Structure 1
Amino acid sequence: MTRVDVEADVIAWARDRSGLPVADLERRFPRLPSWVAGSTAPTLNQLEEFAEATHTPVGFFFLSEPPVEDVPLPDFRTRRSSGVTHPSPDLLDTIYLVQQRQEWYRNHVISLGQDPVSVVGSATIRTRVIDAAQQIREALRPASGEPYNPRDVGDAFRLISESAEEIGVLVMANGVVGSNTHRRLNPDEFRGFALADRYAPVVFVNGADTKSAQNFTLIHELAHIWLGETALSGIDPRSSADENASEKWCNAVAAEVLAPLRVVRDLFQRQAELQGEAQRLANIFKVSTLVILSRLHEAGLVDWTTYRAAYAQEEARLRALLAKPRESSGGNFYNTHVVRTSRNFARAVLISAAEGSTLQREAMQLLGLKTRETFDKLANHLGVS
């Protein structure tokens, strides 16, 4: 039986990089401890299975030492984010997938002669927060002319996403890597990222986060697009000394877009119990209670000591909520898939394939679809024949 000469340090690196429990990996690969110790080597089949299990490219195992993997985006996450130091395979694979889709879409719209997206780079961090927030609200006003009046936080996300796509920004929201439900994204590692481009700006939102937090992430990343800035974010509504200046600006703009300080002041009921009042206002503005608490402190309505205690209590509650296993909603697969890939992107790929400009095999790969039947049903779902 032929064995593969792999450096023990590389095996250990892949094990640790995966983020999977070591005990689970050792149950699946009983010889793993001996591979790490260098006393035995895996067979090629074992190595390929180990690579798949740890989401590691097979080629990495033929290196003489573990590679250094950097996030391929400017990293604006602060030290409050537990994922700052070493990017997980899930984060890296998600970024690479979105970059691939952006590159295809960019070439597509340029070939059609479409104009650049005007909002990209239309602001700077010297733009007043209140002015930038007004610009974003105006740009995201529904084309139908109907007022922005969402029923709940999920409806708010849908309305904002649809408006963003109308002005040329691709919005992708996903809680897993691609379509792999076994690879759930970790909100503690990142909340979202923006890929600025004049022709194909993209906003990605971590769909594993709470629904209300996703609305803040969406606007925050759109603010990065307004700056013409590519960025990876681990968003916290609070400001901190170690934050990048543009990250602070995007936080402030997102808060002002979703919960304008003047309106928060007007609606705040001083006599009410703080946690209950924060939840009431969160329901009104369709944001998280953390955003509301930060706004109340910024407005001078809650003192620093009270704010810190309330914020810590609410943060712990939300973390416990995220830690609970989620039951599948059993929703429509095609609706979910469109949200994951962006409606504009999905339609563009399907139309290009129907016209013969893109091979169906490539189109299916770009959309993350495995069967012709699913491909055809998605086309029918989006009205593309």
Structure 2
Amino acid sequence: MNFYATRFPALPAWLAGDSSPTLRQLESFAGATHTPIGYLFLQQPPQERMPIPDLRSMPGERLRPSGDLLDMIYACQQRQDWYRDQARAAGEPALRFVGSAPVGSDVVEVAAAIRGVLGFDLEDRRRLPTWTDALRQFIEQADAAGIMVMCSGVVLNNNRRHLDPREFRGFAMADPVAPLVFINGADTKAAQMFTLAHELAHIWAGQSALSDAEAARLPEQEVERWCNRVAAELLVPLDAMRADYAPRAELRAELDRLARRFKVSTLVILRRMHDAGGLTWERMWAAYEQEVSRLRARPKGSGGNFYLTQAARVSKRFARALVVSTWEGRSSFTEAFRLLGVKRMETFRGLSESLGMAR
């Protein structure tokens, strides 16, 4: 509200009915809020239906989905539809793991199955320099297994339309040949790791969902509780945790040591300390909130290479397929630009080069 009141000083008067905007002002306001101008003439706001099941359980008032969230879901649905058509045309078989673990299945067995499909080896992870390297590898492993993993903090490539992690952390779109996971890249890297693990559990369950996955929370819905348990077991198997955990050690030192050892965030380690019986729920939650504040206060890294970032936003699997299809003439450049969220041929060519597919 403050942002729009700054850009449109007359907004409070419009809302109070003391004055009315001109048509030009309405057009400007509609553009700034990404709202069809016709909506502004309705007596009541339209009921926006969530395209996928909404399983969020964040505390506080439940608001209508933002235009940014809806547009991101719609964009991912379009990408999934395109990729599904391409995969079927190429005769690609269905991925057997999609829907292979109904909700309520044994958590340890499901986590082991996910590790097997992804090649998610704990010892290999321990040899990586940092857990952020482990997160990058985690995404690449899921993508290589056939799951499009898209991670972005903005809608398409519009850096003025930031996705709010307080609204959602991620979502999954289960599909036999084109499963898709979206991670809110505006969230902390620590949260992104658990979100990916949680959404993978949704893919194994064969259930699409919008989530606010958080390691320390107990969601209301059974499917979300189950996905959280699978995610925790996937990242840090409880047997391995119990073997390595020293409950009597100083918490800060042990937290950092185990995070380095398992190459996961300290947030996941706190949850597993509780699961292993080393921390009460109250102590774990207090430490968890302190750790979230500490991680959020850390400076964010630079954007890095634009083309690598772009590939991460749409998944390398999807980007490669679309680039190849476009250069081979099976897809139009107009369609490719729309699905990628780019506007210039130079950008498309640069992305092609970064993926090793230059023409």
- Residue identity matched to 2:110: A
TM-score between both structures, scaled by the size of structure 2: 0.92
The answer to whether 1:335 aligns with 2:302 is: no
The answer to whether 1:186 aligns with 2:164 is: yes
Check whether the contact 2:216–2:285 (CA below 8 A) recurs between aligned residues: no
Q: What CA distance in whole angstroms lies between the structure 2 residues aligned with 1:142 and 1:279? A: 22
Q: What CA distance in whole angstroms lies between the structure 2 residues aligned with 1:51 and 1:253? A: 42
Match for residue 14 of structure 1?
Answer: none
Q: Residues 270 and 129 from structure 1, CA distance in 2 versus in 1: closer, same or farther, beyond 3 angstroms? A: same
- Residue identity matched to 1:252: R
Shift of 1:130: 0.6
Note the alpha carbon deviations across 1:96-143, whole angstroms, 9 max, x for none.
Answer: 111111111111211222111221101112321110011000001079
Match for residue 245 of structure 2?
Answer: 268
- Residue identity matched to 1:378: L
The answer to whether 1:135 aligns with 2:113 is: yes
Q: What CA distance in whole angstroms lies between the structure 2 residues aligned with 1:179 and 1:75? A: 25
Q: What CA distance in whole angstroms lies between the structure 2 residues aligned with 1:320 and 1:154? A: 16
The answer to whether 1:349 aligns with 2:322 is: yes
Shift of 1:215: 1.2
- Residue identity matched to 1:256: E
Gaps of 5+ in 2: none
1:258 to 216, 235, 240: 235
2:38 to 16, 39, 59: 59
Q: Residues 110 and 154 from structure 1, CA distance in 2 versus in 1: closer, same or farther, beyond 3 angstroms? A: same
1:112 to 90, 102, 105: 90
Match for residue 15 of structure 1?
Answer: none
Shift of 1:193: 0.6
Tell me the number of residue pairs that the alignment of Structure 1 and Structure 2 aligns: 356
Note the alpha carbon deviations across 1:159-206, whole angstroms, 9 max, x for none.
Answer: 122221222110001122221223222222211110011121100111
Shift of 1:49: 1.2
Q: What CA distance in whole angstroms lies between the structure 2 residues aligned with 1:313 and 1:160? A: 26
The answer to whether 1:290 aligns with 2:267 is: yes
Note the alpha carbon deviations across 1:14-44, whole angstroms, 9 max, x for none.
Answer: xxxxxx42xx323322332333234543333
2:26 to 26, 44, 47: 47
Query: Which has the higher relative contact order, 1 or 2, with Cα contacts under 8 A spaced 6 or more apart?
Result: 2
Note the alpha carbon deviations across 1:292-350, whole angstroms, 9 max, x for none.
Answer: 22212221222x2xx423422331342354267x5551410001110110001111111
Match for residue 70 of structure 1?
Answer: 49
Q: Residues 323 and 32 from structure 1, CA distance in 2 versus in 1: closer, same or farther, beyond 3 angstroms? A: farther
Partner secondary structure for residue 194 of structure 1: strand
RMSD over aligned Cα atoms: 2.2
Match for residue 257 of structure 2?
Answer: 280
Match for residue 208 of structure 2?
Answer: 230
Q: What CA distance in whole angstroms lies between the structure 2 residues aligned with 1:273 and 1:87? A: 43
The answer to whether 1:301 aligns with 2:271 is: no
Match for residue 71 of structure 2?
Answer: 93
Q: What CA distance in whole angstroms lies between the structure 1 residues aligned with 2:158 and 2:301? A: 14
Check whether the contact 2:108–2:230 (CA below 8 A) recurs between aligned residues: yes
Q: What CA distance in whole angstroms lies between the structure 1 residues aligned with 2:159 and 2:43? A: 33
Check whether the contact 1:76–1:231 (CA below 8 A) recurs between aligned residues: yes
Check whether the contact 2:99–2:207 (CA below 8 A) recurs between aligned residues: yes
Shift of 1:353: 1.1
Q: What CA distance in whole angstroms lies between the structure 2 residues aligned with 1:157 and 1:288? A: 9
- Residue identity matched to 2:115: R
Identity score, percent = 48
Q: Residues 26 and 94 from structure 1, CA distance in 2 versus in 1: closer, same or farther, beyond 3 angstroms? A: same
Partner secondary structure for residue 205 of structure 1: strand
Worse-matched range after superposition: 118-127 or 175-184: 175-184
- Residue identity matched to 2:325: S
- Residue identity matched to 1:233: S
Q: What CA distance in whole angstroms lies between the structure 2 residues aligned with 1:371 and 1:342? A: 20
Q: What CA distance in whole angstroms lies between the structure 2 residues aligned with 1:181 and 1:141? A: 34
Gaps of 5+ in 1: 1-19
Worse-matched range after superposition: 101-110 or 224-233: 101-110
Partner secondary structure for residue 232 of structure 1: strand
Partner secondary structure for residue 172 of structure 1: strand
1:248 to 213, 216, 225: 225
- Residue identity matched to 1:176: V
Partner secondary structure for residue 189 of structure 1: coil
Worse-matched range after superposition: 354-363 or 274-283: 274-283
Q: What CA distance in whole angstroms lies between the structure 2 residues aligned with 1:298 and 1:34? A: 54
- Residue identity matched to 1:319: S
